[in-house]
Amino acid sequence: MQYTPLDRLEARYDVVVVGSGLGGLTCANRLAGAGHRVLLLEHHFQLGGLATWFKRGGHIFDVSLHGFPYGMVKTCKKYWGPAIRDSIVQLKNIVFDNPQFSLTTTFSKDDFIRILQERFAVPAAVVTEFFATVDGMNFYDDQSLSTRELFTRYFPGRSDIHRLLMEPITYANGSTLDEPAITYGIVFSNFMNRGVFTFEGGTDKLIGLMAEEMQKNGVTICTNARVDHILIEHNKACGVMVGNKTIAAKAVVSNAGITNTIDEMVGQEQFAADFLDRFKNVQVNNSSCQVYFGIRRGETIADIGDLLFTSTAEEFSSEEMRRMDTKSRTFSVYYPKTRPQSVPDYTIVASMNANYDDWAELDSESYRQAKEAMIERCFDDLERYVPGIRGKVDTIESATPRTFQRYTLHTKGTSFGTKFEGLDISRSLHREIHGLFHVGSVGIIMSGWLGAINYGVIVANDVDGYVRG
């Protein structure tokens, strides 16, 4: 697909969107559909942000675990069209395997109710009340109740149930038991509606369809274009600097990390003291590691499940899950049915939560050894489900928080944006500097594919009102 090169861009657009994560793509598309002249700038050669892919050894790999709730069907139908909506399929075999329990679930609310009652012997009334509580949670609820306190209220002393309910959400957005319960409840109740879904055909197909739709709507797309500065005059965003090129705009939308946006592209000197006091409380969320396995063409593997939440750790711990030598990981298995191609292909992506600081200061040799050890741990675990897997693999690649920092430019290579406080900063940015908006993974709630797309719609509406006003 051909995009517009940097030297052929015009000097002025109505809106410049910086970054092409799903929030930025959706925001740009919505604004163009509303009649605005929109420029989308992406520093990488490929669109998608963390919703992207790469090719190695004849295989196509999604960069990380991708699963989203049923709400994506409605959202994509309304904002991206039938071709994207119709490629959303359910992952029906979600496997949990750890020292406390082993089970397979559809990850739907009905199935979890059944499992909690039949497998974990929780009274029906308790299960009903728990789900009613999390289903009713919203952003404006009391934030003093932690997830740990929520679990203790309904399932005291049941670390096995805490693990069942929390482990997938920690993989999804980096949250812990000690964060506000609403950050858990909102995400969990979304997923628990009707199960976990993915995009049949892979992220490359998804982003390709989105790019086609954007260009049809008139979005100018430019890759290999890193924005160095967002230009501010008289407390108003007025354009961007890309290398030595200045591009003017009525509004700028940053799809970079909120900390990158404020600290690097705008500069703290542009903001009032009270805003910076609130900004100081924003915590960058943790990052992740991945190991990618490509199965030799002609080889097959049995259906071992679509997502495998595996661990040999005795109990759940978000701290243990971020250790370099963690015993906990998720295997996302791509069968030919998941990514249909002319020649059947199997790939497996192992995903682990991680701390950037553990990897950041390693010298080149220590870094290489740490990656090799991580690959071997993944092989050891995978061998339990696919005996002889080492002989079937012809391609291995790995990614660490340093990899994510390099390709996304996110502060500390975060895969999950910020903790809860980041959402308020993101939403209030345009009130601090007129014409400056932010869309991205913030506050845990606005993370993942569905959160990113919905946030893109919200911000597009804000920008449309501002530009027309």
289: tokens are 């590691």
Residue at 22 is within a domain? yes
> What is d(CA 350, CA 166) in angstroms, rounded to the nearest whole number?
19
Domain boundary among 166, 193, 220: 193
**212: domain range?**
6-47+202-283+417-468
- Structural domains counted in the chain: 2
For residues 172 and 234, membership in a common domain is answered with no
Q: Are residues 176 and 153 in the same domain?
A: yes
Per-residue confidence (pLDDT) for residue 337, from 0 to 100: 87
Domain boundary among 144, 173, 193: 193
In a domain, 29, yes or no: yes
Range list of β-strands (E), 94-244: 94-98, 101-105, 196-199, 220-222, 227-233, 236-242
278/216 same-domain check:
yes
Of 158, 193, 228, the position where a domain reaches its end is: 193
Q: CB of 407 within 8 A of CB of 44?
A: yes
The pLDDT score that the predictor gives to residue 141 is 66
Residue 303 lies in a domain: no
pLDDT of residue 142: 66
Per-residue pLDDT of the chain (469 residues; tens, 9 = 90+): 799 999 999 999 999 999 999 999 999 999 999 999 999 999 999 999 999 999 999 999 998 767 888 889 999 999 999 999 999 999 989 999 999 999 999 999 999 999 999 999 999 999 999 999 998 887 666 678 999 999 999 999 999 999 999 999 899 888 899 998 988 888 888 777 788 899 999 899 999 999 999 999 999 999 999 999 999 999 999 999 998 999 999 999 999 999 999 999 999 999 999 999 999 999 999 999 999 999 999 999 999 999 999 999 999 999 999 999 999 999 999 999 888 887 899 999 999 999 999 999 999 999 999 999 999 999 999 999 999 999 999 999 999 999 999 999 999 999 989 998 899 999 999 999 999 999 999 976 667 888 899 999 999 999 999 999 8
Same domain, 211 and 188: no
Tell me whether residue 424 is in a domain: yes
Q: How many CB atoms lie within 10 A of CB 466?
A: 16
Pair 161, 187 in one domain:
yes
C-alpha 237, offset from chain centre: 27
pLDDT of amino acid 311: 98
Q: Are 248 and 255 in contact (CB under 8 A)?
A: no
Residue 166 lies in a domain: yes
- 241 neighbors 228 (Cβ within 8 angstroms): yes
User: What is the pLDDT at residue 60?
Assistant: 94
Where residue 41 sits, what CATH number does that domain have? 3.50.50.60
C-alpha span between 422 and 343 (Å, rounded): 44
